[in-house]
Structure 1
Amino acid sequence: MITYELGRGVTIEHQVRNSALELTDATAVLTITRPDATTDTPAVTHVSTGIYRAPTFQPNQLSVWRYRWDISGAVTDVAFGAFLVVDGTLPPPGAYAARTDLAGVIPVVPDNAEQLLVRASRDVDRALLTAVYDPTDPAVIAALRDATVEQVAGNLGSGDKTGLGITTTPQGFTLGKLSVQKPAAPASAPRTGVLVDQAWSILQAAGLTGQSPSTEASWNW
């Protein structure tokens, strides 16, 4: 699902096509349903043959917005869509970093940024499984945030677009005398365990690594 940050402009557009898949003029009515179930029917602009666009607006409610195009006239059709509005300044549940934290590190923040942040935070938790630290310490909070961001950046740079450790590259193919070879797989970011080295270095500098489970017995008499 496409994700937008709260207050950012959203533009909804629709293409009307006939049975031959040709752009065709018709009557287009757009209904937008907010997360609180209230609706709006903005006037749409006929951009060109078969293309209709609503004015750009700024969503003012968090959660899922839904919309519906009702097409009549030369073409009769109904099309549905939805998008998610998030507060990009707050970490999603289960994550140490927010969407806006990624903006200064990776060129383009992907639509599934929240999912990537949550999965990268789990990687950080896994690396610190036996560590003892104060989660309310501002320095610790900053280290966990920065390490999570670097983990996302490292995963994306290695071709992992889901945060699951799976890289995808196009396959080569042959068409007649034409042969196309798949590009070389992206170089994998150096790692220490499950974390990319940049993330590990941040945690190490904060004193959060190198802690092993205690083997000393504690006796109470």
Structure 2
Amino acid sequence: MPDVGDLVTARLAVSPADLTTGVSLVVTRPDGTTVTPVVTASDGGAAWSAPVTYTLAGIWRLSWTVTGTGAGVEHELVSVAPLLGAVPSGRAYATTTQLAEYLGAAPPLESARLLWEATKLLDALLISAVYDVDDASMPTDAEVAAAFADAVCSQVQFWGEVGEETDISGPLQGVVIGSVQLQYGAGDNRSGPSYVAPKLPRAIALLPAEKFRFIAWVGC
């Protein structure tokens, strides 16, 4: 599987083929735009190649059209991986440096994406919380910002221990924030495992009321 930025030689074998064989290539990017690379022939028209630079992550479609001897159309789908550590557009409550300091060790290579995912999770859980934010919806109070950073770092640490797949394995069970006590679960016996790090709610539980007001914990 190629990665974003890779320059790959796309190849097509044509049989039967002779000097009347012609080949063209249309490459459709994941965003729907197209390019037509220069195609060159070898082996008497039986082998064709073209340079393709994968500039976007996603599914690329290579459409070969053969004319003359061996005429026909052939399509190929290519899955292109994003750069390792690439971050989707968005914000994160902690940097990879903060994560490294929290872990006391080198952070995982996917830290940037994991922090972004943890930020989305925290936002969903605290949708009813009240605190001051800036134009980018980031907390303006240093104490709240630090607590949020600890919360998302704890979630990334949790995923590192139990695997990120736990995010779909079951809802939160048993959490206490101040006087609020909530328990969620999967099935009648609430046996589904939590996908929220135990340290996450504790990271924000002691924030002073004048800076952070929590109305209700929202299960995801």
Q: Please give the TM-score of this superposition, normalised by the length of structure 1.
A: 0.43
More helix as a share of residues: 2
Q: Please give the TM-score of this superposition, normalised by the length of structure 2.
A: 0.43
Query: Which structure would you say has the larger Rg?
Result: 2
